[in-house]
Amino acid sequence: MNCLSITKNGLVLAILLALGACSLVSVSPYDSSADKAFTKLHKQTAEFFAESTKAPDPSCGYSHHLSFYQNSKVSMSSLLVRARAMADNNLTVSQLELLSSSYVNLAQLHQLGCFTSAQVNELWVSFDASFSAILKLELAKKYGR
């Protein structure tokens, strides 16, 4: 064996190792219906938090916002069913599951009493980060990035 064949074999091995280290993650295609439903849920959640920043009054309690919690639960359920039905959609499913648990936690916290402005701001930052992550993923699917 000469030096040239060792160099070629080494180069081929290096290329194969480099390609193996760059494995691709398979993702589902963009889903415009889910994107629209997700955007609608984001708007409803933003409106809920905007309303919650008003000065405390008798309508700030959990029971006054039951329709928001019921609607968000139904929306999350629909989004999860749709996301789980698509092949190679585990990343979106896991993000939606985290968001769904955030709504459950929000409802439990709200049952303890009205939110302060500081709580509303912190909660909104958390929800907005989750929405942003999901939206970034969906837009990457849409534009093939």
Under a CB-based contact definition with an 8 Å cutoff, are residues 58 and 106 in contact?
no
The arithmetic mean of pLDDT across residues 24-49, rounded, is: 88
76: its two tokens: 């999350």
Calculate the average pLDDT of the chain.
86
| pLDDT beyond 60 at 55 | yes
Contact yes or no for 109/2 (Cβ under 8 A): no
DSSP annotation of 87 reads T
Predicted confidence (pLDDT) per residue in 7-34, tens digit: 656 665 556 555 555 545 567 888 889 9
Q: Place 134 in a pLDDT band, splitting at 50, 70 and 90.
A: very high
Determine if residue 27 is left, alpha or beta; phi over 0 gives left, psi from -120 to 50 gives alpha, anything else beta. beta
Nearest partner of 31 among 98, 78, 99, 97, judged by Cα = 78
Question: Is the torsion defined by CA of 24, 25, 26, 31 positive or negative?
Answer: negative
